[in-house]
Every structure is written in structure tokens, then in C-alpha cells.
């Protein structure tokens, strides 16, 4: 096995975002571009003498090429072993489990999550540490700093590894182990949930439809929902992994998961023929959407309902240490935590902020409004885990999705919530919107907008209670005296232009109003947000790209 040192020149645009480095495939295909970033990761780490690297991705275009390259670079940079999912496939939560289960040094995950895939679309790469979670900011900042000064990278010269055959390949003291990561992950889920009770539910006439959106969770859904829980094969849709995700946008929301939505939202005279339960997961398997018959569950409500019913699930029957949510996520789970008398933490957006809390045993469940929920079984959000939470709860309570949600609202009140995304707008225009909002900070307090009176406003910052690290500039908040709020934030997950997100929340304790559509209930607040931000004037956008 011959080792090579290749001279290179730095790229200045390799700054990781919320979930690693994401660019168009053509950017990653530039000579030395991927190699530079991988070497910057390795140069930032102190690699132990017996270190094993976990490696895999969501199956999108360029994954196979990148995996072979990273294996060879790992061999040249001191790793003694690389563990790869069969076919190079690893969902993000499964990768976190592999890191933890096999106690590897860390892992490289190749994914751009819910972004489109294909030769002209998106690719991504991120590093996860030994706890299975995304690298904290101090590591990603060090990687970026190294990427701006790198002059060479190291790579071994050997034939590509056959990733389709489970087993181990030995190469002069270095090895590559291809594992059945689907089975490993399914075994973990069987330890957490009451599979026998869920199986009985699915055999009782209860029907479901799961949409993998042509992405990574297809094989996992087949193994768990069909092979182990006995759901009919027809319960699954779009479960063959495609390098282009079937040409779709693998984001499990009402806009992009329209095939599933069409199945659950039948015409009024056919609603009863719709499945009892619907769910979708995204490109790399860490997000989820939950539906009932013509009924959408917001991710914020999903987190709160899972927390309120967690003791029905075997893994959490002893109770929860605490819960955490990202700042833009609604306060619905806060009300559950108060009743359970457990801590509730508010963090910036990004799963890495939950890792310290989990490792310190401060929280058991956590979630984000961006369709991500999870627990301390791994250090990533987990789409199929969330689906199984709902099925386990429904199987025991013997109720429908809609009835379960409305019963929760009746007990806790409803945090009426919506997110409006304006995608791929010019970065300068997005920055102008944020600057315009911040310029009004001194005059906002005590201002009255319709029936809403401003209490305060800020740009959210966070001090990690475990390591003391500080994160600033995490989103602009307009907080009203009634407890309602508007949040403006630029997303860090896109690869083209900027995505500006507006989060709207109003607490409604009156059960008589719980039936209202969120857009109707929030109509006045939506107009206030547009007036405050001057979004239409700054961006020329009349409507959001996505509403959830």
C-alpha cells in the first residue's frame, strides 16, 4: 500500500454550516476540493494509534466516489480501520449509532440532508465525534481555519473496496469492514420500543403509509416496518434509494412530501379510506413528518406529545431527565416539562447543541421545529425513531392521531405555530431584511401592532450550561406581552442564496379555538411580520416557498 502526499492550494469557502459543509456537486468535484476538506478534518484531530473511523452516507450522487477517496485518505492519515455501511449507505442516526455501538474514534457522514440530489444538485460532508454527535463549533471552526491554510493532503494508493459485500478487507495493517448497519439500527429500535404491541396494532386493521422519498430510510423502513412489525409491503412508498432521490426534494413537509399528503388528505367523501397514520423521512433519515387522516402534526407538537406520553414507551418508562428544544421551536414542550417537573432547555438551532446536555444526562428527549426529534439513544435526530414513538403510543392508547393531538391541546392548551420559508433569495436581500429588523430594536418595546403589544426583542444567544461556550447571532426574536412571538432567522442548510425563515407562535388556551387552521389563527401575526421586516419590499417575494 503506497502512501502519497499531494500538493494543493487552499479554498476559502469551506466554512461548515449548521450541519457540515454543503455545496453543489460540481463544487466538490473540483480537483482537490473534497480532499482538502477531509484533510482539514484529519489535521484538526489528534488521531489515536488504534483509531477506527465510521463512514457512510445517504446514497446521493457522488457518495460512492467520495467514500472510496475518504477510505484511502483515512489509511494514509493513521486510522487502522474504517467501518462502512453496506453499499456505502448509512442514515445519519444509524451512523451515530454505529459510532457509539462500535466505539469508533468518530465518523464522517456524507449527506446534504433534505436538499435535492444529483449531478447538478447538492452534496455535503460533516464530522461526528466519538459521542456520535455533530462536531461542536470549536472543532468546525478549527477545520475551517485549517482549510484556509492547507498546502498538502495524504492519500493511499490501492484498488477501490467492494462495499456491497459484508465482511472485512485487510490491507497491510489497515482494514475496511463493511457492516449491515440496517440490522444494527433495527436491533437498537427493538430494544427501545414494544415491538409486539406495535405489531398487534398493525395486524388489527390499523393502516399506515410511510414515504422514504427515494432516500436513505427505505431499507430501514423495509426491515423494521415490514420484516419485523408485519406491515404490508404496500404500506411503503418510494423506498428504493436513488442517487437523485427520484428527482424530488427529500424534505418531509406538506409541500415536498406531496405524494404522501395526497394519500392522507383524500377528498371529503373518501377521507375514511385514507390510512390511519402517515409518515415521511428525509434524505439522510434524521427528519420526520407525522400525519393522521387529513391531519398534520407540527414538529413542535410532536415533540411535546412524545414527551407527555414517553412513559408508555419501554425505553422511557422510568421517566425523563429533561427535555430540550431549539429556540425557534414552539413552547409546547415547555408546558409538558413544567407539569412533569423536569428541566426544559432552549438552545440554538443545530443538533450539536443537544449533545452536551445528553452526555451530561440533563435531557432525554429533544427536538427542533424543522421536523427533527430524537432522544439520548443516539446523538442525532432520528426520523424512524419518531415514527415508532407515535406507533407505540397509539398502540397503547388505542386512539387516532387527530384525537391524540386534540386531547393534548385540551390538557395543555395549543401553541398555534407555523414556519414560513423564503428559499434561495439573494443573500444581500436576506441580509437587508435582517438588518432592517435589527435597526428597529430600540423602538420595538411597548409598540402595539393590532392586538399584539411588544414586550422585548433580541438576537438570541446561548451559553452552554455544560462547557460554558457561547453562541451568538442565533435568530431575531420579537416577544409579545401575551406570550406570542415572531422569530426571524437565516438558515444554514442551503447551498444557493439564502433561506429566510419566519417562525410564528401564539398560545391559545381556549379549546373552542383549537380547531382553527394555523394560517387563519396567525393571519394578523403573519401580516405584522411582513410589515416589520419589509420582506416583500427587500426581496420582491410575494409568497413563501414553503409553509409548515
Buried-state track 23-43, b at ≥16 Cβ within 10 A, e below 16: bbbebbeeebbbbbbbbbbbb
Of 225, 184, 195, which is closest to residue 97 (Cα–Cα)? Answer: 184
Q: Which domain holds residue 468?
A: 414-547
Predicted local distance difference test score (pLDDT) of residue 133: 94
**Shared-domain flag, residues 160 and 189:** no
Dig out the grid coordinates for 468 from the structure.
460554558
Q: What is the mean pLDDT of the chain?
A: 94
**Side-chain-side CA neighbours of residue 390 (13 Å):** 30
Can you say whether the dihedral through the CA atoms of 520, 524, 529, 531 is positive or negative? positive
**Shared-domain flag, residues 80 and 171:** yes
Last residue within a domain, chosen from 121, 154, 179: 179
pLDDT in tens, 319-347: 999 999 999 999 999 999 999 999 999 99
Predicted local distance difference test score (pLDDT) of residue 494: 53
Number of domains in the chain: 3
**Shared-domain flag, residues 113 and 242:** no
**Shared-domain flag, residues 308 and 350:** yes
Predicted local distance difference test score (pLDDT) of residue 304: 98
- Give the other-Cβ count within 10 Å of 199's Cβ: 16
Last residue within a domain, chosen from 384, 412, 440: 412
Dig out the grid coordinates for 236 from the structure.
411503503
Dig out the grid coordinates for 511 from the structure.
379549546
Of 221, 218, 137, 21, which is closest to residue 474 (Cα–Cα)? Answer: 137
**Shared-domain flag, residues 262 and 386:** yes
**Shared-domain flag, residues 30 and 148:** yes
455-to-432, 449, 528 alpha-carbon distances in Å: 24, 12, 15
**Shared-domain flag, residues 148 and 216:** no
Last residue within a domain, chosen from 359, 394, 412: 412
**Shared-domain flag, residues 145 and 291:** no
pTM summary value: 0.93
Q: Where are the alpha helices (DSSP H) in 243-317?
A: 258-264, 299-308
Of 40, 84, 103, 91, which is closest to residue 175 (Cα–Cα)? Answer: 84
Active site members: 113
Dig out the grid coordinates for 117 from the structure.
440530489
Q: By three-state DSSP, how is residue 544 classified?
A: coil
* Residue 307 per-residue DSSP state: H
**Shared-domain flag, residues 188 and 50:** no
pLDDT in tens, 413-431: 999 999 999 998 999 999 9
**Shared-domain flag, residues 254 and 144:** no
**Shared-domain flag, residues 315 and 258:** yes
List, as one string, the DSSP characters of 420-484.
EEEEEE-HHHHHHHHHHHHTTTTT-TT-EETTEEEEEEEE--EE-TTT--EE----EEEEETTS-
- Give the other-Cβ count within 10 Å of 69's Cβ: 15
- The distance in angstroms from the start CA to the end CA of the chain is 52
Dig out the grid coordinates for 23 from the structure.
455545496
Mark residue 211 as left, alpha or beta (left: phi above 0; alpha: psi -120 to 50; beta: remaining).
beta
**Shared-domain flag, residues 189 and 174:** no
Give the separation between CA 234 and CA 243, rounded to whole angstroms. Answer: 23
- Give the other-Cβ count within 10 Å of 526's Cβ: 18
The CA-based angle 399-403-404, given to 5 degrees, is 75
Give the separation between CA 16 and CA 297, rounded to whole angstroms. Answer: 31
Q: Report how far Cα 35 is from the mean position of its chain's Cα atoms.
A: 26
Kindly give the parts of the chain with pLDDT less than 70: 268-271, 492-496
pLDDT in tens, 144-170: 999 999 999 999 999 999 999 999 999
Give the separation between CA 466 and CA 500, rounded to whole angstroms. Answer: 30
Give the CATH number, domain containing residue 324.
3.40.120.10
The CA-based angle 62-18-315, given to 5 degrees, is 95
The arrangement of strands across the sheet holding 372-375 comes to: 344-347, 323-326, 365-368, 372-375
Amino acid at each position: 500500500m503506497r502512501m502519497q502526499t499531494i500538493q494543493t492550494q487552499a479554498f476559502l469557502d469551506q466554512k461548515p454550516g449548521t450541519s457540515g459543509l454543503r455545496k453543489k456537486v460540481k463544487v466538490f468535484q473540483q480537483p482537490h476540493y473534497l480532499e482538502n476538506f477531509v484533510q482539514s478534518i484529519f489535521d484538526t484531530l489528534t488521531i489515536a494509534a488504534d483509531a477506527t473511523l465510521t463512514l457512510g452516507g445517504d446514497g446521493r450522487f457522488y457518495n460512492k466516489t467520495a467514500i472510496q477517496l475518504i477510505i484511502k485518505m483515512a489509511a494514509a492519515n493513521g486510522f487502522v480501520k474504517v467501518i462502512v455501511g453496506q453499499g456505502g449507505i448509512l442514515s445519519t442516526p444509524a451512523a451515530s449509532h454505529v459510532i457509539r455501538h462500535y466505539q469508533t474514534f468518530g465518523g464522517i457522514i456524507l449527506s446534504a440532508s433534505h436538499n435535492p440530489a444529483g449531478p447538478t444538485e447538492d452534496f455535503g460532508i460533516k464530522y461526528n465525534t466519538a459521542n456520535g454527535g455533530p462536531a461542536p463549533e470549536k472543532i468546525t471552526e478549527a477545520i475551517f481555519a485549517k482549510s484556509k491554510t492547507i498546502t498538502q493532503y495524504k492519500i493511499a494508493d490501492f484498488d477501490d473496496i467492494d462495499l456491497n459485500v459484508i465482511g472485512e478487507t485487510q490491507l497491510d495493517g489497515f482494514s475496511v469492514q463493511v457492516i449491515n448497519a440496517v440490522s444494527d439500527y433495527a436491533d437498537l429500535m427493538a430494544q427501545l420500543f414494544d415491538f409486539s404491541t406495535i405489531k398487534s396494532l398493525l395486524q388489527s386493521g390499523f393502516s399506515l403509509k410511510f414515504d422514504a422519498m427515494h432516500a436513505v430510510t427505505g431499507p430501514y423502513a423495509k426491515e423494521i416496518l415490514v420484516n419485523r412489525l408485519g406491515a404490508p409491503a404496500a404500506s411503503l412508498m418510494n423506498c428504493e434509494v436513488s442517487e437523485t432521490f427520484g428527482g424530488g426534494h427529500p424534505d418531509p413537509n406538506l409541500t415536498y412530501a406531496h405524494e404522501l399528503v395526497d394519500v392522507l388528505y383524500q377528498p371529503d367523501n373518501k377521507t375514511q379510506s385514507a390510512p390511519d397514520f402517515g409518515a415521511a423521512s428525509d434524505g439522510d433519515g434524521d427528519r420526520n413528518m407525522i400525519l393522521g387522516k387529513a391531519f398534520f402534526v407540527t414538529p413542535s407538537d410532536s415533540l411535546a406529545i412524545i414527551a407527555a406520553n414517553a412513559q408508555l414507551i419501554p425505553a422511557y418508562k422510568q421517566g425523563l431527565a429533561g427535555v430540550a428544544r431549539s429556540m425557534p421551536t414552539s413552547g409546547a414542550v415547555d408546558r409538558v416539562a413544567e407539569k412533569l417537573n423536569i428541566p426544559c432547555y432552549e438552545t440554538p438551532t443545530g443538533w450539536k447543541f443537544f449533545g452536551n446536555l445528553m452526555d451530561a444526562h440533563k435531557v432525554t428527549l429533544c427536538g427542533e421545529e424543522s421536523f427533527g426529534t430524537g432522544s439520548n439513544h443516539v446523538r442525532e435526530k432520528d426520523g424512524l425513531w419518531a415514527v415508532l414513538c407515535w406507533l407505540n403510543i397509539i398502540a397503547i392508547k388505542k386512539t387516532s392521531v387527530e384525537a391524540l393531538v386534540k386531547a393534548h391541546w385540551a390538557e395543555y392548551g395549543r401553541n398555534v405555530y407555523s414556519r414560513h420559508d423564503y428559499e434561495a433569495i439573494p443573500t444581500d436581500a436576506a441580509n437587508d431584511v435582517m438588518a432592517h429588523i435589527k435597526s428597529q430594536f430600540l423602538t420595538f418595546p411597548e409598540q402595539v401592532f393590532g392586538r399584539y403589544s411588544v414586550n422585548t426583542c433580541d438576537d438570541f444567544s446561548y451559553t452552554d450550561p455544560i462547557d460554558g461556550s457561547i453562541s451568538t447571532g442565533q435568530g431575531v426574536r420579537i416577544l409579545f406581552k401575551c406570550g406570542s412571538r415572531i422569530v426571524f432567522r437565516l438558515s444554514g442548510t442551503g447551498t444557493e442564496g439564502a433561506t429566510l425563515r419566519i417562525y410564528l407562535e401564539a398560545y391559545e388556551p381556549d379549546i373552542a379555538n383549537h380547531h382553527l387552521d394555523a394560517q387563519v389563527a396567525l393571519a394578523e401575526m403573519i401580516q405584522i411580520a411582513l410589515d416589520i421586516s419589509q420582506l416583500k419590499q427587500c426581496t420582491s417575494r410575494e409568497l413563501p416557498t414553503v409553509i409548515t
